[in-house]
Structure 1
Amino acid sequence: MTTSVLARVAADPAAPLHAGVTAPGGYGKTTLLRQLTDAYRGAGMTVTGPWPPRTADPGHVLLIDDAHLLTAQQLDDLRAHAEHPDARIVVAHRPWPRRPELLRLLEALRRGGPAITLTTLTPIEIARHLSAPSDDLVAWVAAQTAGIPRYVTRLAEALAGAGAGPRQVPVAALAPFAAELDELDPAVRTLLLAVEAGAGLSFDLVAAVLDDDADVAELVDAGRATGMLAADGTLVPLARRAIAALGPISQRIDVRQRLAALQMARGGPVLPLVRPLLRVGAAPGLVPGAAGSGLGHVYEAAGEEALGDDPALAAELFAAAAGAGRTTGSRRALATALAGDLDHASRLTDQVLTAGTPQQRAEAAYVAATVLAHRGQTAQAVRLYEWAGTDVANGFAAVGLIAVGRLTDAQRLIQPDDTAARPPTSLSAAATLMARGTAESVTGAPAAALSTLVQAATLIDPAGPAVLLPDSPAAAGALLAMHCTELDVADTLLTRAEHRGTGGALLATRHHLLRSWVLLLRGRLTDVEQRLPATTTAATAAQGRDDLLASALRVGLARRNGDLVGLRSAWPDACQALIGQPVELFNLLPLGELAVAAARLGDSHRVAGHLADADRLLADLGDPPVWSVLPHWYRLQAAILADDRDTARRHAAHLDTARPAGTWAAAFADAATVWLDVLDGVADPESVVAAARTLSLAGLAWDGARLAGQAAIRTSDRRAMALLLDSARNMQDRGTRPDPGQQLLSAREREVGALVLAGMTYKQIADRLYLSAKTVEHHMARIRQRLGCSDRHELLSRLRELIGEPEVSA
C-alpha cells in the first residue's frame, strides 16, 4: 500500500489524494510522510504540515503527522479541508486515542481515498537494514524487534557500530528508549512496567497496581499504540530489555512490590516478580533497604519457590528476607548447603544453633549434620541428627550409627510404622526405609536389604534436587550392590538418581563417582577413562568421603591398566584423602582398593591403621558377609602382591567361611582357593578357568582375567598356558580399550615380556612357549625397538609399566 501511494503521487502529483495512515509508534508513519513530502516538493507542489494553518490553502498539500495529538478544533479544520473533492491530504495517526473528532476526520478521508495500515518488516526487508545479513542474524533481529521498522533500524545501527560478535543487544540500541519512556503518560508507563514485571494483561492485577479508577482496557490500547506492547499482550523483546534497563528504578521496584504482595495474597508464584529486585535493590541512588522494605515475607516465599531448581538463588532470597526483618537463617543454611557451599552453610548453622527458635535450631542441626556427613564425619553427624529429633533426622541418624558399627543404638531409632509419633512424609518414609535397608544388610540377606533400599530410592525420586540428604538411598544401595556383585542393580540405581537429580549438586558428584566405580569393577577401563575429565572436575569440588572415592578410583584405574607411573602419581593424593577419613561401612570399597595399591607400591604402612579400624568395625557388626567379603578379597590381593602367604591364607579362610552367604560369596571363596593354588604352583588349569569364569559372570571380568593370566605365567604346560591365556582374553570386556601394552605389543610379545619380568632366561622362556631361544631373542629385540629402550634396565622398567610385574617369581 505504501509503495502504491508513492507511485500514484509520482505519476500525477496534482491529482486529488485523501488518505489516512494508521499504525502504532515506530511503524514508519513519519518516514512515509517524508517520502511524500520529497515527492510533492520535487514536483513543485507546496507542502503544509505537520501543523496546518487555521484555513489551509486549497492548492496546498497537507501532510499531517501525529494527528491523535491535535486539538479538537484542528481535527475539525482538517475534516473540513478533507471534504473538498480536489484536496490533497494525508493524515498519519496512532490507533489510540480514538477521539470522536479524529474518527470523523478518518471517515471523511475514507470517502475520498484509501486507508493505509502500516505493517512490520518482512525478513527480506530486515536483511536490507543489516550490513552483513545471514539467515540466523535476520531471524534473531526479527525476534528481538518483532519486525517494527524503528526498532529494526536501531538494532541494525547498533550492531554495525559494535562490530561482529555474539547475539547480544548492544546498549546503543536501548538508549533511544529513554526519552520515549519519559514522555509516556504515567499510567501507561506503569502498565508497561507491570507487564515487564510479569503481570501480563491480567486486568485485575494491573488495576490493583495502578491503584486508581483508570480504565485498564483503554490503557492496554494506549500501550499497544506505543509500539512497545504487542497485540498478544507481551512486550516486544527489545522494548522489554529497554524498560528493564532504563525504566525508573524506584517505580520498577514499587510496581514489583505491589504485584508480589498481590500474588502472595492470592497464593500465586512470586519468584518471577522478586528475582529482579535482587539486582535493582542495590542500584545507585536508592535508599538502603528500599527494595526489600515490607517485602520480607515475599522474599521468603520466593526463596521457597527457588529452593528446588536454584538453591543458590534461594539462598540470596532468604538473605534478602532476613535483611527485611524475617528470620530465615536456617532456610538460608539449607539452600546454601544444597548449592554445594558447605563451608558457608556450616557458618550459618552455627549462628542459628546459638540464637534461633527451637524449630529453627532443629533445622539448622539437620543441615549441620548433613554437612558433616558429606565430609565423612559420620559419628559427629549422628549426634546432631539425634539432637534434631525429627523423623527424618532419626532415620539418617540410624544409617550413620550402623555405618560406624553401632547397630543396637540404630535399631532403637528405627520406629515401626504403627508407633510413628508424627504423620510420615515421603522424605521421612525414605529415611526410615534407608535405615531399615542398611540394618537388613548387616543382619539379614542382601536381597532383602537391596529391595528395601530400592524402595527408599523410589520414594525419594520425586523430590529430585529439592531435598538435602546426607546420602541417597541410591548411593547406599549401589554400594551394597557392588559389595555383593549385583552390578546391574547398582548401575540402575545410580543412573536413575543422576537422571532425577536426587540430592542436588551435593550428591551429583557422589552418584557420578559411584557409577565410575561400577565400571571399574566390571573392568570397563575405557569407559572409566572417558569419564575421567568429569570425574576430575567432580573430585575438585568433592567433600571428604567423595574425595576419597575419586582418589581411590584413579588409583584403581592405574593399577588395572598396569600403569605404574600413573599409580605412583595418584598415590599421594589418595593418601591425603585417606588421612582425614574415619573408617565407616560405606567407604570400605575405596579402602580395599588403596590396600592393594599400597602393597603394589610397598607402602602398606599407610593403610595399616585404617585396615585395623575396618576389622574392628566389621567385628562390631558381627562380620556381616555382604560387607566383609569384598574387603577380604581386596586384602587377599594385597597379600599376594606383598608375597605374604600367611596373610593370604587367613583372608582366603575368611572368604571360605562366608561361602554360604550366596553364590557371589562362593565365587570369591572359590577364586581365593585357586589363587592359593596358583601361588603354590599346584593350580589345576580347569579349576582356574572355572573360578575365573565365575568371577567374570558375577561382573568382575578384570579380576577373572587377571586370575587366569597370572596362572598362565606360572604354568610350564604349553597346552594349559594356551587355555588360560585364551580364557583371560575372552573375559576381557569387548568395550574395554586395550591397555598400553596391548596397543604397543602383540599378544606373543606380551607373553614373552611377562615371562622375562618373572625372571626367566631366554632358554626357559623358549622351553615354556615351545620356541627357540633365538626366536625369543628376536621377540625381545622387537619389544626394545617398539618401546624405544636403550638398555635392559629401561626395558624392564617399561615392561613393568605396560604389563605389570608378576606378584611372585615363577
Structure 2
Amino acid sequence: MPASDIASPGRIDSLMDSTSDDPLLDEPTRELCRAVAHGKLTPARLAVVAPGGHGKTAMLRHLARRCEARGVAVAWYGQQDVATAELILVDDAHELDDSVLAELHERAGDEVTGLVIAARPWPRSPALNALLSRLRGQVVLRPLDIPRIAALLGRDRAGLAELVRAQTLGVPGFVVRLANALRVHSGDPVPADATDLPAPVLAEFRPELDRLPPETLSLLLAATSGARLDVDLLAAVLDTDHDGVARTVDAARAGGLLTSDGVPLPLVANAVRVLVPEERRLAISQRLIRLQLARKGPVLGLVRPLLDTELGGTALAEAFEAAATEAAERDPALAARLYAAAARAGHPPTELVCRWAETAARAGDLDAALRLADRVIAAPRAEGRTDAANTAATAFVHKGQLERASELYRWSNTRLSRVNSALIALRNGKLTEAESLLDSADRDAPPTLVTTAMTALVRGTLESVTSGPAPALSTLADAAEALDPVGHSLFLPDTPAAVGALVGMQCGELSLATTLLDRAVEADSGGRTSRARHRLLSAWIAMLRGDTDTATHTLKSVGRELSPRDWLFAVGLRAGLARRTSDLAALRELWGDVREAVIRLRVELFTILPFGELAIVAARLGERERLAHQLERARTLLRALGDPPLWSAALYWSSLHAAITADERDEAAEHARALARCADHSTDHTGYHRVLAEAAACWIDTLGGTVDAARVDVAARALHATGLCWDAARLAGQAAIRTTDRAAMVALLECARSLQGSSTAGAAPPESRLGVLSERERQVAELVVSGLTYRQVGDRLFISAKTVEHHMARMRQRLGATSRADLLAQLRELVTPSSSAGRSPGRRPRAR
C-alpha cells in the first residue's frame, strides 16, 4: 500500500455530507472554489500540490460540487469524457505517464476549458514540471484548526479536538483517519486532557503499517529512534546510498508521514512504537547506536528511548556513558539516569561513579551523590578520588554539615578545595585559618574561571569581616561576573551572588543585592542546586522591604524539595512572613519545623539571618530557651572574628527585637548599646549601622515611655531609606501607641501609614536630597544623565562599567526610585541645575 493510504482521500469524503459546507477546507479555499464556480476565474488554471492526506481530493470534489450546482459541466480526467467539459479536474497527476502529461500540457493552452490539477510534491517528472508551469496559480491547503477538527469529531467527541490536533498536526487525512478510529472505539474512555492515544485506537492503523514499503518502515523506525535526517546513518540502516535515502525520505514526506524537517507526525511515531514488534525496533535502534559510536558522533537522541529498557552489552553501556557526558552540562538529572543505565548495562562502575556522583549532586540528589562519592573515596586504587571528595564535601555544605565538608576538602587538597575550605573556616569564625588556607591556595594551579571566582568569593567574604561592605561588595560582584560564563554547569558550595546578597542585606544595599540575584538567576549561576537559594534570598529582600505578597509568592515558587541549608532559610521566611502579618496560628504551626531546624543545623556566619528571625519568633511563642545555645554560638563566632559590624549588627538587631517581644527591657538596652558600638566601629560610608543604632535607641526610649516624635520620625524614615520598610513602619506605629501626646500620636501614625508597604517616604525637594549622593555618585549621575553608557562613564572616571552599575544601584535605593526611568528622572532633576550653569546648550558635562 502507498504510504499515504494511512490517510486515504476516499475516507475523508466518507465523513462528508455532500450537501454540507466541507469542514476540511478553510475559508480562503472555499472562497476560491466559489470564485471558480461563479466564473470569476475563467478559465481556471490551478495547481493543488501537497503531500498525501492534505485534502487535495476533498478540495477537488468540493470544487466539482460547487461548479455543478452552478450548471458548469465538470469532468474528471481519466474517468469521464472530457470533450464537452467546461472544467477538467485531474487527481494524482504524479502517477500519470509522460504521454498523458503531454496531452494535458496541450490542454493547458486551451483558453476556453478550465483545468485544475492535483499532485504530490514527489515524484516530479520533467513532464509534470512542464505541465504545472503552465498553470496560473497554486492552491495552498492549510492544516485543520481546532474548530474544524471538533466539527469532524462530532459533539460527543469534540473535547478531544486538541488531542487530535496535537497527534495529527491538523493534516486532514490523518484527522479523518483518527476520527474514524475514535468512533470505532467510542466505548473506550479517552480523557480530554490525554497526551497520548489508547492502544486499541492505534491498532486501527496496523493494516496500513503492514502495507508500507520495507524501506519506508525502516526510515520511520530510524526517525522515531532519534536518527532524524542524518543521511549517513540512514544510508547504513537502509542499505542504500545517499540518493536512495533522498528518494525514501521524499516518498515518506510526499505521503504525509514526515514533516518538512523530517520528523514523523506524532500519530505516525506512536503507531510505529506501539504496533511494530519490539525486537525490530530495538534492532534498528541498536544498529544506529553502533554506527554513531563508530563515527564518534552524538548518541543522546538515540539512547534516550532505551533508558527504561533492561538491555545490556558493551556497546550499549558505552553509548549510555557517552550520552551521559553529552547531557551532563545542561541536564544533570538525565545524565545521572544515563550513568545508572551504563552501570546496569555492564560498564565497570568504578570508571564512572565519580562523574555519576557529580551529576547526581548537581541534580539535587545529595544523598545519592554522597553514597556514590563514598564508594570512590573508599576504593584505594579508584580514579577520581580527589574529585569525589570535592563533590561529597560540597554536598555536605548544602546539608549544613560544615565540619564534615571541611574534613573532605582538606583531604582532597586541591587549589579549589583549599579555597572552599577557607570559606568554611571563615563561616565557622576561624579567621586566621581562613587567611592561611587562602594564601596557600594562591601558590599553585592555574587561575581558571572557577578558581578565580571562588577565590574572589572568599576574599569578598573576608573583606566583609575585616574591611567593611564597600570593598566586599565590589569583590563579590566581580566574582559573580567571572562565574557567569561557566557557573550553570558547576556544583558549588555557594555562589558569589548569594554571598553578595547576604552582605548587601546586612548593610542596607538591597538594590545591589537584588541586582546580583537577578543576574545569577538569569545566568543560572550554580545550576539547579543554587536556584532555590537565589530565589529564597530574593524573597527575603522582599520581606525586609515589607512586600509580603512578593515574598510569599517567591517562597511558594521554590517548592518543598530543598536541601537542609535552603530549608532553613525557607523556615525563617515562613516565620518572618507570619510575624509580619501577625499570623499567630501560622507561627504556632511552624514551630515544629523551627525546633527541627535548631536540632539539625548549627548557626554559622551565613545563617545568622534565619536564626535571628527564628529567635524573634521563639520570643513571641515563649520558647526562647530553644535557641539560646545557637545564639550564644553565633556571638562566640562573631567575637572570634573580631565582632565585624556588618555581621554582628544583624544579630544584635534581631536580638533587640526578640528582647522587645519578650519584654526584656534590660536585655534590649544591652543590644541597643551593642548596635551603637557597631556604628562607632563601622567603616560603612552609607551610615546603615548608624541608622540601626539610632532606631534601636528610639526603641529603648519608647519602651521606657519617652517618645520624641520628631526623633522617631527621622529614625523611621532613615530605616525605610535603607530598605527596612516593615521595621520602619513598626517603629513609628509602636511609638504612636505608647506616647501620651495626642498630636505626636497622630503624626507618628501618619508616618507609619506613609512608610508601610511603600518604597519611598515621600519625595523630598531636590536640594534636600542632593546630599544623599556622594561626590563620586554625583559625578556618575551627571555623566549618565548626559547620555553616556556605563562603559563610557567608566572610561571618563577611570572605573569599571560594573562599578558604575553598582553606583547606580545604590542611588536607586537611596532615592527610592521604582524603575530605571524613575531613577534617571530624579537624577536629571538633581544634577541638572548644578551642572548646567555656564554650560552651552547641548554640551555634555565634563567628568571631574
Scaled by the length of structure 1, the TM-score of the pair is 0.72
* 2:793 equivalent in structure 1: none
- Partners of 2:634 and 2:238 in 1: CA distance: 70
Deviation (angstroms), 1:136: 10
Q: 1:94 to 1:469 in 2, by over 3 A?
A: farther
The answer to whether the 8 Å contact 1:334/1:367 transfers is: yes
2:485 is aligned with 1:462 = yes
CA–CA separation in structure 2 for the residues paired with 1:265 and 1:603: 67
TM-superposed CA distance for 1:526, in Å, is: 3.7
Q: CA deviation at 1:109?
A: 9.3
Check whether the contact 2:733–2:748 (CA below 8 A) recurs between aligned residues: yes
Equivalent residue number for residue 364 of structure 1: 388
Deviation at 1:254, TM superposition (A): 3.6
> In structure 2, what is the Cα distance between the partners aligned to 1:33 and 1:495?
58
Deviations 1:570-604 (CA, angstroms, capped at 9, x unpaired): 32321221221112100111111222222233322
CA drift of 1:446 comes to 1.0
1:334–1:345 Cα contact (<8 Å) kept: yes
* Number of the residue aligned with 2:515: 492
Query: Do the aligned partners of 2:354 and 2:387 also contact (CA within 8 Å) in 1?
Result: yes
Q: In the TM superposition, what whole-angstrom CA distance separates every residue of 1:716-757 from its partner, at most 9, and x where no partner exists?
A: 222332333222222212389xxxxxxxxxxxxxxxxxxxxx
**Which residue number corresponds to residue 503 of structure 1?**
526
Q: Which residue of 2 aligns with 1:190?
A: 218
After TM superposition, give the deviation of residue 193 of structure 1 in Å.
2.2
> What is the one-letter code of the residue matched to 1:649?
A
User: Is the aligned partner of 1:687 residue 2:711?
Assistant: yes
Structure 2 equivalent of residue 760 of structure 1: none
Output the CA distance in 2 between the equivalents of 1:647 and 1:253. 74
Q: Counterpart of 1:206?
A: 234
Matched with 2:425 is 401
Q: The residue matched to 1:117 in structure 2 has which SS? A: strand
Task: Report the Cα offset of residue 277 of structure 1.
Answer: 1.5
1:337 and 2:364 are equivalent in the alignment:
no
1:385 corresponds, among 409, 419, 428, to: 409
* Equivalent pair of 1:24/1:94 in contact (CA under 8 Å): no
SS in 2 for 1:583: coil
Separation in structure 1 between the aligned mates of residue 758 and residue 221 of structure 2, nearest angstrom? 62
User: Conserved in 1, the CA contact under 8 Å of 2:463 and 2:469?
Assistant: yes
**What corresponds to 1:323 in structure 2?**
344
The alpha-carbon distance between structure 1 residues 698 and 205, as it changes in their structure 2 partners (threshold 3 A), is same
The amino acid that maps onto 1:386 is: R
Task: Summarize the Cα distance change of 1:115–1:453 in structure 2 as closer, same or farther, 3 Å threshold.
Answer: same
Deviations 1:516-548 (A, max 9, x none): 21122222234334445446xx3x322322222
Secondary structure of 1:575's counterpart equals helix
Q: How does 1:420-499 map to 2 (within 5 A)?
A: 421-463=444-486, 465-499=488-522
User: For residues 707 and 211 of structure 1, do their structure 2 counterparts lie closer, same or farther at Cα, with a shift above 3 Å needed?
Assistant: same
The 1:30–1:638 alpha-carbon spacing in structure 2 relative to 1, beyond 3 Å, is closer
RMSD, matched Cα: 4.1
CA apart distance, 1:112? 10
**Structure 1 segment 525-544 matched on structure 2, within 5 A:** 525-531=548-554, 533-534=556-557, 538=559, 540-544=560-564
SS of residue paired to 2:307: helix
Partner of 2:525, secondary structure, is coil
Return the match for 1:514 from 531, 537, 546: 537
In 1, are the aligned partners of 2:539 and 2:552 still within 8 Å (CA)?
Answer: no
Does 1:305 pair with 2:332?
Answer: no
Residue aligning to 1:246:
275
List alignment gaps of at least 5 residues for structure 1. 7-20, 36-60, 64-81, 83-89, 283-287, 737-810
Aligned length: 659
Q: 1:174 aligns with which of 177, 202, 208?
A: 202
Are the equivalent residues in 1 in contact too, given 2:492–2:526 (CA < 8 A)? yes
Mapped pair 1:587 → 2:607: yes
* Residues 764-783 of structure 1: pairs in structure 2 closer than 5 A: none
Shift of 1:614: 0.7
1:701 and 1:313 map into 2 onto residues whose CA distance is 44
| 2:322 aligned partner, one-letter code | A
SS at match of 2:592: helix
Match for residue 588 of structure 2 among 535, 546, 568: 568
The reply to whether residue 165 of structure 1 matches residue 188 of structure 2 is no
**Structure 2 gap segments, 5+ residues each:** 1-8, 19-47, 63-76, 82-88, 109-114, 121-140, 761-848
Aligned-pair CA distance for 1:606: 0.9
Q: Distance in 2 between matches of 1:103 and 1:495?
A: 67
Match of 1:597 in 2: 617
SS at match of 1:485: coil
CA offset at residue 618 of structure 1? 0.7
Largest Rg, 1 or 2: 1
Would the alpha carbon gap of residues 276 and 444 (structure 1) be closer, same or farther in structure 2, given more than 3 Å must change? same
Q: Structure 2: which amino acid aligns with 1:402?
A: L
Q: Distance in 1 between matches of 2:669 and 2:55?
A: 93
Choose 461-470 or 687-696, whichever is displaced more.
461-470
The equivalent residue for 1:314 is 335
Q: Distance in 1 between matches of 2:697 and 2:726?
A: 18
Spell out the pairing of 1:22-41 with structure 2 (5 A cutoff).
none
SS of residue paired to 1:170: coil
TM-superposition CA deviations, 1:611-649 (whole Å, max 9, x none):
111111111111111110111122222223334343333
Alignment check: 8 A CA contact 2:716 2:732 kept: yes
Residues 203-261 of structure 1 show CA distances to partners (whole Å, capped at 9, x for unaligned) of 22322334556833343344446542456544333222222333343343343344345
Cα distance change of structure 1 residues 34 and 406 upon mapping to structure 2, 3 Å threshold: same
Inter-CA distance 620–735: structure 2 relative to 1 (3 Å threshold): closer
| Residues 223 and 612 of structure 1, relative CA distance in 2, 3 Å threshold | same
- The verdict on how the C-alpha distance between 1:117 and 1:489 changes in structure 2, with shifts beyond 3 A counting, is same
Q: Residue type of the partner of 1:423?
A: P
In structure 2, distance between residues paired with 1:705 and 1:109: 88
Q: Quote the offset at 1:95 in angstroms.
A: 5.7
Name the CA distance, whole Å, in 2 between partners of 1:700 and 1:488: 12
Q: Which residue of 2 aligns with 1:699?
A: 723
Q: AA paired with 1:323?
A: R
TM-score (norm 2): 0.69
User: Which residue type is aligned with residue 192 of structure 2?
Assistant: G
SS of the residue corresponding to residue 470 of structure 1 reads coil
SS at match of 1:295: helix
Which one of 731, 737, 745 corresponds to residue 713 of structure 1? 737
CA spacing shift, 1:190–1:134, aligned 2, 3 Å: closer
How big is the shift at 1:183? Answer: 4.1
For the Cα contact (< 8 Å) 1:158–1:170, is it kept in 2? Answer: no
Aligned partner of residue 484 in structure 2, secondary structure: helix
Aligned residue for 2:633, secondary structure, equals helix
1:397, 1:410 within 8 Å by CA — same for their partners in 2? yes
The question of 1:117 aligning with 2:123 is answered no
Match of 1:725 among 724, 749, 759: 749
1:431-485 alpha-carbon deviations (Å, 9 max, x no partner)? 1111111111111121111111122222333345432122222111111111112
For 1:645 and 1:229, the matched residues in 2 are separated by 78
CA contact (8 A) 1:23 1:94 kept: no
Report the AA paired with residue 193 of structure 2. Answer: P
Counting only pairs closer than 5 Å after superposition, residues 778-797 of structure 1 correspond to structure 2 as: none
Contact preservation (8 Å) 2:144, 2:171: no
Q: CA deviation at 1:22?
A: 11
Report if aligned partners of 1:22, 1:94 keep a CA contact under 8 Å in 2. no
Question: Residue 321 and residue 93 in structure 1: after superposition, are their counterparts in 2 closer, same or farther (change >3 A)?
Answer: same
| 1:617-636 pair list within 5 angstroms | 617-636=637-656
SS in structure 1 opposite 2:649?
A: helix
Q: 1:707 to 1:231 in 2, by over 3 A?
A: closer
* Equivalences for residues 90-169 of structure 1 within 5 A: 117=118, 123=144, 129-132=152-155, 141=164, 144-145=167-168, 150-160=173-183, 161=186, 162=189, 165-166=192-193, 168-169=195-196
